[in-house]
Amino acid sequence: MATLELSGLRKSFGLIDVLQHIDLALADGEMLVIVGASGCGKSTLLRLVAGLERPTAGQVLIDGSDVTSRDPSERDIAMVFQNYALYPHMSVFDNMAYGLRIRGLSREDIRKRVDEAASMLGLGALLERRPRQLSGGQRQRVAMGRAIVRHPKLFLFDEPLSNLDAKLRLTMRAEIRRLQRGLGVTSLYVTHDQVEAMTLGDRLLVLHDGRPSQLATPMEVFERPADTYVAGFIGAPAMNFLPAELARGGSAALLEMGMLLPFADGRRDGEDGRQLIIGIRPEHLAVGDGLEITIDLVEPLGSETLVHGRVLGGKQPLVIKLAGPFPGGEHLSVAPRLEHLHVFDRASGLRIDPAGGEIAARPLAAADIAD
């Protein structure tokens, strides 16, 4: 088991800064999920930890030891890739045993470790098969087994489920979390899938253009997003954003279309007229007197319905998640649930809390994690 600390990590390719200001600490056994849009630097960060890339600045510390300049083979890290990276001419057993043979373990130790991992992963009956004889989910299990048998200090997962279909992703997601908790291995997991991020991580690191937008528990990221990028990225469908300004001495927001929304959780600092963005999740809009919406599209999903439209008289798009069927018609009136409003400064995009001021992404240390 191990702790991981990244201090002042930065990576540039020529004049392009791919990662900046990465500071974080992982507790022993913690799983941190790194999430963000394509090109935000997720995989580069993983490669820096693995030693496949060298940082432009900063340090990587494992168990308090600086490994920034060490080769990947000297870091005791196991990596699970998106494309499985199995040897096609080898059996499942040999794929899982290969790294142990390279390290010089005895036949008895290799057999014991492979059998233990195969039992955990349900691969006992498949050890003599070749990768081409396996399904996608079975290949991913073999890739995980190859990592498990090494008994590494750290697991690194680079979008391991992206090649699987939706049903199999759900199954494998639960399997990865169960195994990681059972083994207690400190882990970094990279994904662009927010559902994976919310369900797998003890904490999330949301990256945006190579910078940390927020580092917090999944529920804190969902309930108190640090800025409009995080608010729009986490949650499906994405949060609605409405331009507004501060009103009534900081106790309410006046939407551009004239609707006044009192803050249920307290006043915001600033003079009336301060430019705001009000965030409302689609599930926090209820049918009732309020915003008049022109309907563009209705998506029935069975137990719920997504309604896409525009605020009447304007071009502001809005998505509403209804708990039942759409009542019909070309227009719909919806009212925001005031206790679920999110308030952001329009210029900076940062969240504005009732206590006053803006909150920026706060890099939590391992000690901040609740047991």
Q: How many helices (H) and strands (E) does the chain have?
A: 8, 21
Q: Any alpha helices (H) in 154-289, and if so which ranges?
A: 166-183, 194-200, 218-223, 228-233
- Whether residues 249 and 145 share a domain: the answer is no
pLDDT of residue 370: 36
Q: Give the mean model confidence (pLDDT) for residues 165-184.
A: 86
| Residues 194, 257 within the same domain | no
Residue 366 lies in a domain: no
Residues 165, 242 within the same domain: no
Pick the last residue of a domain from 185, 203, 229: 229
**Residue 365 covered by a domain:** no
> What integer is the mean pLDDT of 188-215?
92
pLDDT digits (tens, 9 = 90+) for 154-164: 999 998 888 88
216 with 263, same domain? no
Residue-wise pLDDT for 96-151, tens only, equals 999 899 989 999 999 999 999 999 888 999 999 999 999 888 898 899 899 999 89
Domain boundary among 229, 259, 284: 229
pLDDT at 241 over 80: yes
pLDDT for 301-318, tens place per residue?
888 999 999 988 767 899
The pLDDT tens digits for 269-293 are 999 999 999 999 999 999 988 889 9
pLDDT, the chain, mean = 89
Q: Look at residue 236 in the predicted model and tell me its pLDDT.
A: 87
Q: What is the pLDDT of residue 169?
A: 84
pLDDT band at 355 (very low <50, low <70, confident <90, very high): low
Q: What is the pLDDT of residue 367?
A: 41
Q: How many domains does the chain have?
A: 2
Query: Do 52 and 110 reside in the same domain of the chain?
Result: yes
Structural domain harbouring 57: 4-229
Cis peptide leading into residue 300 (ω within 30°): no
| CB neighbour list of residue 63: distance below 8 Å, 6 or more residues apart | 2, 3, 153
CATH of the domain at 352: 2.40.50.140
Sequence-separated (6 or more) residues with CB below 8 Å from residue 170? none
* Three-state DSSP state, 184: coil
Same domain, 225 and 241: no
Percent of the chain with pLDDT over 70: 95
Residues 178 and 285 in one domain: no
pLDDT of residue 1: 65
| Whole-angstrom distance, CA of residue 46 vs CA of residue 192 | 14
Amino acid 361: pLDDT = 42
Asked whether the predicted pLDDT for residue 327 surpasses 50, the reply is: yes
> In this structure, is residue 370 part of a structural domain?
no
pLDDT above 70: residue 365: no
- CATH number of the domain residue 79 falls in: 3.40.50.300
Please give the pLDDT value at position 244. 95
Residue 363 has pLDDT above 50, yes or no: no
Domain boundary among 171, 204, 229: 229
- 189 vs 258, which has greater pLDDT? 189
pLDDT value at residue 371 = 35
pLDDT confidence bin for 326, thresholds 50/70/90: confident
Structural domain contains residue 363: no
pLDDT band at 38 (very low <50, low <70, confident <90, very high): confident
Name residue 158's amino acid.
Answer: D
The DSSP bridge pattern shows strands 285-300 and 331-336 to be antiparallel
| pLDDT mean over 63-79 | 92
Give the 3-state secondary structure of residue 197. helix
Residues 361 and 208: beta-carbon distance below 8 Å: no
CA-based nearest residue to 43, from 67, 19, 12, 68:
19
Do 104 and 146 lie in a common domain?
Answer: yes
Do both 218 and 301 map to the same domain?
no
Give me the mean pLDDT over the 4-32 stretch: 93
Measured CA to CA, the distance from residue 328 to residue 21 in angstroms comes to 50
